[in-house]
Structure 1
């Protein structure tokens, strides 16, 4: 390490020390008589409550205290120091204003604390948890112009539920409510908890909405505590309907008629073009089963609403079917706004007509997208996409998408020369909002199942190496059980790769290297694949998970019928091309833990295996695994790591080739912290590698063995994330901690850092620039 670098480190520590000393002296800014409030503690004094109960009550009461003291870090208050040490700005803008009022924090003084309000709030909260006779006092501990408040709480005996009674009478609503008693959240012997009482009212309200009581609300229910039955700190609860419940809330409603306006427009209604009909019987010319459709231009096939709407004439109103229908209409993707109205049609028999007022989106859209990018393999480039979409292609809400694209990536330096890459192609997809099967399938999910038909072509050229044609097509289904679970089944998935031009230079190398030869061989891959995804990351939970598992099978049935066995010389062909036969499984599991609103831990593990057999001795290059790069092991450049302990630096052909494998093991952990509004910091560790199933004599150390742990690569680094809401710009700087292709015993590099050496920094510090989080 150079002397200059060491001296700079010393300066940094000196400045940090000065900053810490200044942070400690915030009280010197206080005026005469002012005392800095440093926070409060809640002490629970009880001989009867368990340790768990006291800890739970303490946590609940502590959260209710106000105001919150100034932000501290390791006992220091740097934000308060910025406020105190910055002069009052003349304008409400500029650096000084930002430093004082945005980065800084106004002091919280003891005089800002309302002790009586806090005690009243805590006493009320204690009663909500069943401690009806809590006594509270407070003490103020002052030292050197700093004060802390201690609230002493004597909760007394907690009250428990002795009995839960539900209203039982001969009315329809009384009988329906009584049916809900068996699944009550309130149980005999349970501690009284007002939050549980509120949850029980919500449960009953939702259940009544499911039973036809359209106008019923949880506020119509009261849970009475029977004070006359209080004995030995036990209390009886009586669940009943409020006396002032509106008459309509006690009546069950059914559906009379269902009317759909698929071309609803507020402006059109104002002009009198589309009036909501007051007499649906006049619309029988547009009837589809029990549904009346006002679509004079016949833009939509009526059957689409048979599969989407869950209400039929005579059905009892059901809130679940109500929401299910709205979600499925949204999921069709062709309506901008969806409005639902229930109009009373027969007040004596308690019936109403259900109207669905649908405002369509533009049926067609055309967009042009230009992208610039760079990656850790020293490539920079651009991509141009022209996208066209039709949202009602066959008048059944089918979506037809076409994307025409062109891209290039240019080598911008690096330790090894590489080939520039040119890509151009077209992708098309027809997405049909139902499952095209010989038999009828009716989904009860809020998400419309879809049949997807894809067709694509890509022209790929690596200058000075080869040019490939890549054709692909697939047919399959995508459906969601619910918001957490999604299935993607491709019954047919075909890929055909054909070399168009191979340079003499590359061909001469491929004659000597089997691996290079396989990259440009004709490949015919056909089979099926299935992907299952589960996630609850959209919910505000402390712990959330994401899992995606994929099974990819190719050539199995044909290989079995033809008796293909490549190892024994019985390799079969279709149209003169050997077809691929393999089984591939990949699992991606992620776990997220939220420490607070500003900090969290994200982790991921990926395990994948691709096994060739029958008609194949090797996995096709396009189906193999790769590691390294912005969303993988970030301390190693994209696709340069592995397989195993193979050292890619031994290649002397003047080319850079992607390293691929049949087995993949990858693990990452990342601590994420919000620093200021849009600015976030991350500290991460990545580990993993890829391996081959079979031995490759030209890539020594590439085969998977019992020593795979010793061949794991490890990298770590720091990153900045700029969250601009519409996108997240990510900059990750990483360095390798363990390099698997170094000699055994020398793979850890912790003691080999040369920060002052320019060449070392160039080879070992990898900057990844990307959009979005890595996982």
Structure 2
């Protein structure tokens, strides 16, 4: 009998051979007497603590050991092997230098390990966790030029807190400390823990900073531990002020004068134009709400500082208002640097002046941007933007932004006729750093709330098909509760689309042509129909991705209401022929909701996992039987399901290949579900790679005879498209260039039972590659 070894088995043998060679060959580079350090293990000998506590203590102790052994991958040390085989480079550059000193790792030897030092570290850490009688020993195990160190720790019994005292005296600062003791982190019955004691000192310091003790420091607090007064492994804690605490730290300070220099420049200080701190009374000044604003040129209205500054004359100092003021001054967007100083003005009555030294940003800027792009629908093109910004247009830190732009997209290949896209437009936005409304809006957030007004126009031409005029305007508010929660409410958001020309070629696709075998497609007519959309929109964003955590999330929810009140008042009912118009244009009436949830998990400094779920639904009613085309959902493309070309997927099981048209037209839907998962890894500095899986689709709310299979049904899970691929990302900090190569794994418009295409993957077939491999080139991460 003849046995054949297939290609997969040969690959496994090859990988195994390389693994064995690399794992064994690292030690051959060692000199005589050297031993490769493979790591350490800590063994805990204590029967009085639980397995869970023992496991946690073991992990914490091992984390404190130094040095760390060479990194491993699947039990191998490829970086060490790269260091060993690379020749010593002659210059600090080139491939050999990169391989040895950038990718490679210098061997960690047993001689690099200070075992006595590590033993002391283990004892010290154990004692800091309440194991006051800890002992430690170590042993070294060596074999085949490799060595491991085994540390044995006998922690003994962990001491528990039996009593917590806050020592009293007659000082004002001690009185405030007594007021803080009810929320102490030191609890009777808890284990002694040095980290908790440090946190308690910090808590007291923070509490005193809120009560005017500006010069107090956590080092002025001492927590004395006494384990001799109690038996059965108990310890008493005594919290007190240090005897050598400076007198200034025990005094409660209030604000005397608040002085603002909105045109502060460090160069003027160096040239002696003024000194800091300054005597505000001797300077030309004008005041507003007891705030001195030193602005001889009147570049800023003083009222903006009244809104941004939380300190007023006579206020007791507190850190919350201190930090809040600095944050609000920065969020005004008109100051490049914000500096704050407190200077004692009356030591007898414990008062100081608050100085705010503000360096303005460049008030006006003009920026020209150019962008080249390509997408998976065989389009390539570019865009030019000219942006002008004025950051203090009415002297109240109002930002006025105006831009004009031009863009084009040219079809490069493909089975359909080229229909290039040209866009030219302009828009302006005025952002006012306060809520402009007939009602009062109080915000204690560190972020200044804003009133936003925008106006825009775009001319769009799709050659050989149609040209459109698009007008939009909005008025609304944006505010943040904190760094995690953000709101954006557009009280009114108006969009008007008006066609200029519609070619005979496009009309033929709408109306159909029996002689040419082209069926009517009224869906295309909605693209060029006159549209008037107005109503409020609201979005809410929550994220903790700004915090360096292992797990972070991002959520954005959006609600779009159009024509609701108008439709109700006018009694609009398109189904019964009672369609109402404004300026001879039917207005849209619908409810639309979309949710975007993202989850990120950090495995290490260089590897992480990212995922996203998008779910949305749009429901037309009253004056509309169908959703406006511009407000529908789309999938596919570089930031969506990357294995399918942009806007060519769906709705449902509808097969876009049945389109009897000489051009591509976008597929849209009323319901959307999309899921993405991506594993990301950093290879070298700016070079990152990724492996990803995308799934999802769009569906129609109502049946459409021109797109059979598009309506949402209980069978929607069987109509999900699935794609996967790999990507490369060049992260240059200011620019991230992304290349994703994807292929379909499941095609929803194939016959049921035949939609998974895993068994039809043929990388060696050029025709298969042409039809199935989609290259997406984009800027930035997809999510």
Distance 2:229 2:781 in 1: 58
Q: Distance in 2 between matches of 1:561 and 1:326?
A: 48
Please give the per-residue CA displacement for 1:452-474, whole angstroms capped at 9, x wherever unaligned: 00100011111111111000000
How far apart in 2 are the matches of 1:440 and 1:521?
41
SS in 2 for 1:19: helix
Q: CA deviation at 1:32?
A: 1.9
The residue aligned with 1:685 is 693
Structure 1 residues 595, 703: closer, same or farther in 2, change over 3 A? Answer: same
Q: Which residue of 2 aligns with 1:505?
A: 505
1:209-608 matches, within 5 Å, as 209-274=209-274, 278-282=278-282, 286-511=286-511, 512-608=520-616
Shift of the 131–405 alpha-carbon distance from structure 1 to 2, 3 Å rule, reads: same
- 2:3 corresponds to: none
Measured in 2, the distance between the counterparts of 1:57 and 1:642 equals 54
| 1:742 maps onto 2:750 in alignment | yes
8 Å contact kept, 2:284–2:294: no
- Measured in 2, the distance between the counterparts of 1:129 and 1:414 equals 68
Q: Residues 365 and 389 of structure 1 are in contact (CA less than 8 Å); yes or no, is this contact kept in structure 2?
A: yes
Deviations 1:134-162 (A, max 9, x none): 11111222222211111111111001111
The 1-side partners of 2:265 and 2:27 are apart by 64
The separation in 1 between residues aligned to 2:228 and 2:38, in whole angstroms, is 45
Cα pair distance change 1:459/1:121, threshold 3 Å: same
Deviates more, 1:269-278 or 1:447-456: 269-278
**Partner deviation per Cα, 1:105-134 (whole Å, 9 max, x = no partner):** 111111211111111011111111111111
Write out per-residue CA displacement over residues 12-37 of structure 1, whole angstroms, 9 at most, x where no aligned residue.
76764553243122112222222111
Cα separation, 2, equivalents of 1:71 and 1:609: 48
Q: Deviations over 1:200-237 (max 9, x none)?
A: 11111111111000101111111110233232111111
Residues 173-197 of structure 1, C-alpha deviations (whole Å, 9 max, x = no match):
0100000001111111111111111
Q: Quick check: 218-227 or 574-583, which moved more?
A: 218-227
2:227–2:233 contact (8 Å) kept in structure 1:
no
Deviations 1:506-562 (A, max 9, x none): 012112211001110000000001100000011111111100000000000000000
SS in 2 for 1:208: helix
Does the residue aligned with 1:510 lie in a helix, a strand or coil?
helix
Partner residue in 1 for 2:177: 177
Q: Deviations over 1:597-651 (max 9, x none)?
A: 2221111111100000000001101100011111111111111110000111111
Distance 1:380 1:661 in 2: 25
Distance 2:186 2:664 in 1: 68
How many Å separate the matches in 1 of 2:620 and 2:470?
21
Distance in 2 (alpha carbons) for counterparts of 1:545 and 1:418: 42
Instruction: Tell me which of 706, 714, 717 is aligned to 1:709.
Output: 717
Does structure 2 conserve the Cα–Cα contact (< 8 Å) formed by 1:687 and 1:712?
Answer: yes
Tell which deviates more after alignment, 547-556 or 712-721.
712-721
RMSD over aligned CA atoms reads: 1.5
CA shift in 2, pair 1:145/1:118, >3 Å? same
* Residue 762 of structure 1: how far off its partner (Å): 1.0
Separation of aligned partners in 1, 2:772 and 2:318: 62
- SS state at 1:153 partner: strand
Q: For each residue in 1:554-579, what CA deviation from the matched residue of structure 2 results, as whole angstroms up to 9, or x when unmatched?
A: 00000000011111111111011100
1:652 aligns with 2:651: no
* 3-state SS in 1 of match to 2:150: strand
Find the aligned partners of 1:194 and 1:114 in 2 and give their Cα distance: 25
Shift of 1:677: 2.2
Comparing 280-289 with 159-168, greater Cα deviation is found at 280-289
Counterpart Cα distance in 2 of 1:447 and 1:201 = 29
State the partner residue of 2:642: 634
**Does the 8 Å CA contact 2:539/2:557 hold for their aligned counterparts?**
yes
Give distance in 2, aligned partners of 1:677 and 1:500.
51
3-state SS, counterpart of residue 238 of structure 1: strand
Deviation of the 1:505 alpha carbon: 0.5
Q: For the residues of structure 2 that align with 1:531 and 1:60, how far apart are their CA atoms?
A: 43
Equivalent in the alignment of 1:620: 628
Deviations 1:378-409 (A, max 9, x none): 11110000000000011100000011100001
Whole-angstrom distance in 1 between the partners of 2:58 and 2:136: 13
In the alignment, structure 1 residue 724 sits paired with structure 2 residue 732: yes
CA positional deviation for 1:282:
4.7
Report deviation, 1:90.
2.8
Matched length: 769
CA distance in 2, matches of 1:417, 1:168: 87
Alignment-derived partner of residue 130 in structure 2 = 130
1:264–1:358 contact (8 Å) kept in structure 2: yes
SS of 2:236's equivalent in the other structure is strand
Q: Distance in 1 between matches of 2:426 and 2:56?
A: 60
Question: Shift in Å at residue 82 of structure 1?
Answer: 1.4
Unaligned runs of 5+ in 1: 1-5
Distance apart, 1:274 and its partner CA = 4.8
* Displacement of 1:438: 1.1
Question: Residue 242 and residue 277 in structure 1: after superposition, are their counterparts in 2 closer, same or farther (change >3 A)?
Answer: closer
CA distance 1:23–1:430, change in 2 (3 Å): same
* Counterpart for residue 515 of structure 2: none
The structural deviation recorded for 1:10 is 8.6
- The equivalent of 2:514 in structure 1 is none
Retained in 2: the 8 A contact 1:644–1:691? yes
Secondary structure at 2:460's aligned position in 1? strand
2:761 aligned partner: 753
Deviation at 1:83, TM superposition (A): 1.6
Q: Could you say what secondary structure the match of 1:231 adopts?
A: coil
Distance of 1:548 and 1:628 partners within structure 2: 20
Structure 1 residues 96 and 271, CA gap change in structure 2 (3 angstroms): closer
**2:161 alignment counterpart:** 161
Query: d(CA) in 1 for partners of 2:424 and 2:229?
Result: 80
Matches within 5 A, 1:759-770: 759-770=767-778
Secondary structure of the structure 2 residue equivalent to 1:534? strand
SS at match of 2:377: coil
Q: Distance in 2 between matches of 1:75 and 1:275?
A: 64
Check conservation: 1:284, 1:292, Cα contact below 8 A.
Answer: no
SS of 1:149's partner is strand
- 8 Å CA contact 1:307–1:442 kept in 2: the answer is no
Q: Distance in 2 between matches of 1:294 and 1:274?
A: 12
Q: Which residue of 2 aligns with 1:3?
A: none
For residues 320 and 457 of structure 1, what CA distance do their matches in structure 2 show? 44
Shifted more, 752-761 versus 93-102: the winner is: 93-102
Structure-1 separation of matches of 2:693 and 2:408: 31
Q: Do the aligned partners of residues 374 and 187 (structure 1) sit closer, same or farther apart at CA in structure 2, a change above 3 Å counting?
A: same
Q: Which residue of 1 aligns with 2:670?
A: 662
Of 764, 767, 772, 2:780 maps to 772
Q: Tell me, what secondary structure is at the counterpart of 2:660? A: coil
1 CA distance for matches of 2:268 and 2:761?
Answer: 71
